[in-house]
Amino acid sequence: MEDPNRGLITVTSYLLDEERKHPTATGKLTWILSAITLASKYIAARCRRARLEDVLGSIDCENVQGEIQQKLDVIANETLLKCLGNRGGLAIVASEENEEPIILRSSDDPERPYIALFDPLDGSSNIDVCGGVGTIFSILHHDRRAKPLESAVLQPGYRQVAAGYVLYGPSTILVMTTGNGVQMFVLDPSIGSFLLVEPDLKIPKAYKSYSLNEAYIETFPEGYQNYLHWAHQNGYSGRYAGAMVADVHRTLIKGGVFLYPPTKKAPKGKLRLMYEANPMGMLIEQAGGKAFSGLERTLDIQPEGVHDRVSVIMGSTEEVDHVLAHLKEKP
């Protein structure tokens, strides 16, 4: 139930308020997060006009005028890099779309204490069918002693200082944490601001719903197959949008469990640890849920490479526990 006395709280006013609670805060994190919200407003507007602007499909496409079209995920990537690139506070930016992290400044610049990682347009093939897509981001402290400098990015997820996603669906939703619970904002397009609609969002403890690509069932490890057979016999429903942002958002709001198990094609899992599993895992944990990769807590995994892939089980505590119980079963 919405609190009528809360008034209008924009994401900026929320962040400034949080800053005031920390006397040592420098404002740099707020400045970085505001670059992400700016980029996401631009991306939301482009998504809304995707078919009108003919930016669907592959990058090799030419439009009717014979001009080369940019795919929307390239546009999203460039927009985020442009918005984040000239903000103080950031030392390194890494994107799922770029092979190597981009070093913005020299290693020993104390004025740049943060690293930003992002998946610019998760589930981008959904855009072709007017389905939900989104931007996922993760913010880490920069370790200036790391050698080579790029290796500073390789930190486990529990070290994230902020994480979130923007879902470009029927409305544009920002869900974010700075380590103090999860806040949900909705973009009011008439004033161009993200407004707080759900402070301290909590995931339901249980809900009989699973979200995964069940077509791969024959290639899942046995424990996942057993879990699915158990769920079929116990009144579960299945929901799968095929975009992690949309599927995790539904799981966060309604409860249930989102899974991307290892498959024959992707034996380590398909989703990226640093761009997808870690930020979503932090959000789910901050909302009171659980996030695992196999039997290991996702946020404890030490990455070896910035594009590492992991399997994913995240959602309501009781639902994640049901999956884990089946993974632990001895044949």
97 near ligand AHM (CB under 6 A): no
Nearer to ligand AHM among residue 89 and residue 157 (C-beta): 157
Strand 209-211 and strand 237-238: pairing? parallel
Nearer to ligand AHM among residue 165 and residue 236 (C-beta): 165
242 near ligand AHM (CB under 6 A): yes
Using CB under 6 A as the binding criterion, the count of chain residues that bind ligand AHM stands at 10
CB of 271 to Mg ion, least distance (A): 7
Nearer to ligand AHM among residue 143 and residue 319 (C-beta): 319
Distance CA 255, CA 13 (A): 29
Q: How many CB atoms lie within 10 A of CB 234?
A: 9
Considering only residues 101 to 160 of the shown chain, the ones binding ligand AHM according to CB under 6 A are: 119, 122-124
244 near ligand AHM (CB under 6 A): yes
Position among 41, 249, 250, 270 found at the interface with ligand AHM (CB under 6 A) = 270
Encoding tokens for residue 99?
A: 């092979």
Residue 270: contacted member of ligand AHM, Mg ion, none (CB under 5 to 8 Å, by partner type) = ligand AHM
315 near ligand AHM (CB under 6 A): no
243 near ligand AHM (CB under 6 A): yes
Nearer to ligand AHM among residue 196 and residue 284 (C-beta): 284
87 near ligand AHM (CB under 6 A): no
Nearer to ligand AHM among residue 123 and residue 262 (C-beta): 123
221 near ligand AHM (CB under 6 A): no
The number of C-alpha atoms within 13 Å of 45 and in the hemisphere containing its C-beta is: 10
Question: Which single residue is written with the structure tokens 């009144």?
Answer: 235
User: What is each CA distance from 224 to 208, 257, 294, 327, in whole angstroms?
Assistant: 16, 12, 10, 7
Q: Which residues of the shown chain bind Mg ion in the complex (CB under 5 A)?
A: 119, 122
Nearer to ligand AHM among residue 101 and residue 261 (C-beta): 261
Residue 243: contacted member of Mg ion, ligand AHM, none (CB under 5 to 8 Å, by partner type) = ligand AHM
Spatial strand order in the sheet of 209-211: 237-238, 209-211, 257-260, 312-315, 290-293, 296-297
Residue 225: contacted member of Mg ion, ligand AHM, none (CB under 5 to 8 Å, by partner type) = none
Nearer to ligand AHM among residue 242 and residue 288 (C-beta): 242
* Among 312, 323, 315, CA closest to 285: 315
Distance CA 168, CA 127 (A): 10
User: What is each CA distance from 222 to 173, 210, 217, 330, in whole angstroms?
Assistant: 36, 17, 9, 10
Distance CA 331, CA 326 (A): 10
Strand 114-122 and strand 90-95: pairing? parallel
Dihedral-angle region of residue 89 (phi above 0 means left; psi in -120 to 50 means alpha; beta otherwise): left
Residues lying near ligand AHM in the complex (CB under 6 A): 119, 122-124, 213, 242-244, 260, 270
